[in-house]
Structure 1
Amino acid sequence: MSALNKIGLDTQKSEELSELLSDLLSNYTIFYQNVRGYHWNVKGEKFFELHLKFEELYNNLFLKIDEIAERILTLGYAPNHKSSDYLKTSSIKETDEVNDGFKAVGNILNSLQELLVKQRVILDLSSEINDEGTNSMMSDYIREQEKLVWMYSAFLNK
């Protein structure tokens, strides 16, 4: 029988899961900052609508960043907090395209797709090791973000 951590999960698999969550944390953090940039700098057509939607989104991302970091701690590991590391490891990259609302929405859709792929990998592993806490969190994020993809796509008429 393998060693179990404090919450009764396989220690080795929990470490693997923690590493995946750390990568997710990096991506959420860069995505969050991009969305803050969209909110602050958007101009032109649909300004009022997008300014509010971007604020709603970055507030939601901020909460998820905290939840992901706390889940890493719950698994028995320390979440990374360094922006320099996030920039190195995140597949979501910083953007300079912050003024054009339609480009911003396109970038948001690309970032959501990236997160959804990563979260499904985490969902599979958390399911495999019976980690209901992480599994439930990922299921909630996926369901919510799939709806956002539909809504943002509808906005762009795609």
Structure 2
Amino acid sequence: MKNLNRIGLNVKESKVLAERLNVLLANYQIFYMNTRGFHWNIKGNNFFELHLKFEELYNDSLIKIDEIAERILTLGYTPLHNYSDYLNSASIQEAKDISNGEDAIQLILKGYETLLPLERELLDLASDSNDEGTNALMSDYIREQEKSVWMYSAYIN
């Protein structure tokens, strides 16, 4: 039983999951700040529609950030919690001074190109580790985001 954590998962496997979840957390934090900036700075003919859409997106990201951090804690590890760690760990780049809707959507889609593979990797790791909690979380995220990719792609095409 020494090899199991408090929720009955292998300690070494849980550590790997927590490390990868921290990478996902860092990317979500940058994605969140980017979408928040898009919401604040959007201009043009589609202002009202995109302003609301970006607000939905950053609110959703904020919920996911909390869920990911709490999952890391549940596994017995510490979530990253300062911005310098997020910047050092994330692949998503900070967006600055984006006010054009199509540019913002392109960056959102680029963000999903980072988030989805990380989530799929975590889904595989969680499955191999018998970690249904992380598995369920990633499965839900992937399903939602695949639909978002389709919708945002349709919007700009």
Whether TM-score is above 0.5 comes out as: yes
Provide the secondary structure at the position in 2 that maps to 1:7: coil
Trace 1:102-141 onto structure 2 (pairs within 5 A).
102-141=102-141
Q: Distance in 2 between matches of 1:131 and 1:88?
A: 27
Per the alignment, residue 35 of structure 1 pairs with 35
Amino acid at match of 2:73: L
Q: Which amino acid aligns with 1:126?
A: A
TM-score in terms of structure 1 length: 0.97
Q: Is the 8 A contact 1:92 1:111 kept in 2?
A: yes
Question: What is the total number of aligned residue pairs between the two structures?
Answer: 157
Structure 2 stretches lacking a partner, 5+ long: none
Query: CA RMSD, aligned part only?
Result: 1.0
Q: Tell me how far 1:2 sits from its aligned partner.
A: 6.9
Q: Among the aligned pairs, what percent are the same residue?
A: 61
For residues 72-113 of structure 1, the C-alpha deviation after alignment (integer angstroms, 9 at most, x for no partner) is 000000111010110111000101142111000000001012
- The answer for the alignment partner of 2:13 in structure 1 is 13
Take 2:112 and 2:17, find their aligned partners in 1: how far apart are those partners?
20
Where in structure 1 are there 5+ consecutive unaligned residues?
Answer: none
**Secondary structure, counterpart of 1:98 in structure 2:** coil
Runs (4+) of structure 1 moved beyond 4 Å? none
Give yes or no for the alignment of 1:150 onto 2:150. yes
Measure, in 2, the Cα distance between the counterparts of 1:17 and 1:100: 37
* Secondary structure in structure 1 of the residue aligned to 2:139: helix
